[in-house]
A = this chain, B = another copy of it.
Amino acid sequence: MSPFRSVVFLSGGVGGARLLHGMAQVLPSEALTAIVNTGDDFEHWGLSVSPDLDTVMYTLSGLADESRGWGLLDESFRARSLMERYGGPSWFALGDQDLATHITRTQALRDGTSLTAVTARLCKAVGVRQQILPMCDQPRRTIIDTFEYGSLPFQEWLVKYRAPSVQAVRFVGANGATSAVHHAIERADLIVLGPSNPYVSIDPIITLSGVRERLAQKCVVALSPIVAGRAVKGPLADMVRTLSGLEASPQAIAAHYRGLVRGMVVEHGDAEALSHLPMHETSTIMGGAADRARLAREVLAFAERLQ
């Protein structure tokens, strides 16, 4: 039994979604709330796409294609083929089933429903019982300034241009979290920063007006997305070196979260003495459901010891 009655989990896409899936297995559903990055959201084919929200929803519902790393299990891409024939952009793949999610969201937003409300509706429909909150209801977009291609919206940077070297990361648009986000943080007795990219998955959330200050009053633990000097997934290691001037390491992540986190969970062998922060060493690269639950239990036990 976890001593925590209200855990708030900050998440980006795949890595965050997997540990969240572990948390969902070991906590009562009413004790777990996810606050999900929407800085990657964009319009594609005229549809409102929320990659991280969808990855979280699909992962928690068991519908995710985990071997591909995005989208739905047993997906097809027949609409995309005809879109290509029509000359539509095909650099970002939307699957046929996946389109139902984007179409439903787009229509709801156009009808004046909030992103928070339509996310709740979609999650409920696929059996996700935890509260999944977008970080904000208004567009707040992550912009990547690159040396080579200028300023790019996040998905173009990541998918279309395949993550060229980063000069700076900026967030444009709304900077207010939803009241649901503020309330969730207010009543939380533990905050977990998922093993997501700090710059482009967690920062968009914690730089929202008033959020970092509220979080800092709580017990916050973070998972290191850097393992043995490398990012588990994506271009993070390169970003750490460029943006912080430090080697890619859990210590660089700890430095980034300085003043915010009380402890970090890192890979075996990664807790060097450089940091004054309490660290828990374990196997952080998650396999299937049982392994995710195991890591979630270790994170909760570590957080309990910190209190």
Interface residues in chain A, defined as those with a beta carbon under 8 Å from any beta carbon in chain B: 45-47, 76, 78-83, 85-88, 96-97, 99-101, 103-104, 106-107, 110, 121-122, 125-126
B79→A97 contact, CB < 8 A? yes
User: With A76-B78, A79-B97, A96-B78 known to touch, is A46 a contact of B86 (CB < 8 Å)?
Assistant: no
User: With A99-B99, A122-B86 known to touch, is A106 a contact of B76 (CB < 8 Å)?
Assistant: no
B107→A82 contact, CB < 8 A? no
Q: How far is the CA of A98 from the CA of B109 in the complex (A)?
A: 23
B107→A79 contact, CB < 8 A? no
Q: How far is the CA of A79 from the CA of B95 in the complex (A)?
A: 9
Q: How far is the CA of A88 from the CA of B126 in the complex (A)?
A: 13
Closest to A103 in B: B45
User: With A99-B79, A100-B80 known to touch, is A85 a contact of B126 (CB < 8 Å)?
Assistant: yes
Closest to A47 in B: B103
CB contacts (< 8 Å) of A101 on chain B: these are: 82, 86
Least CB distance, A240 to chain B, in whole angstroms: 38
CB contacts (< 8 Å) of A103 on chain B: these are: 45-47, 79, 83, 88, 99
CB contacts (< 8 Å) of A80 on chain B: these are: 100
User: With A85-B126, A125-B87 known to touch, is A79 a contact of B96 (CB < 8 Å)?
Assistant: yes
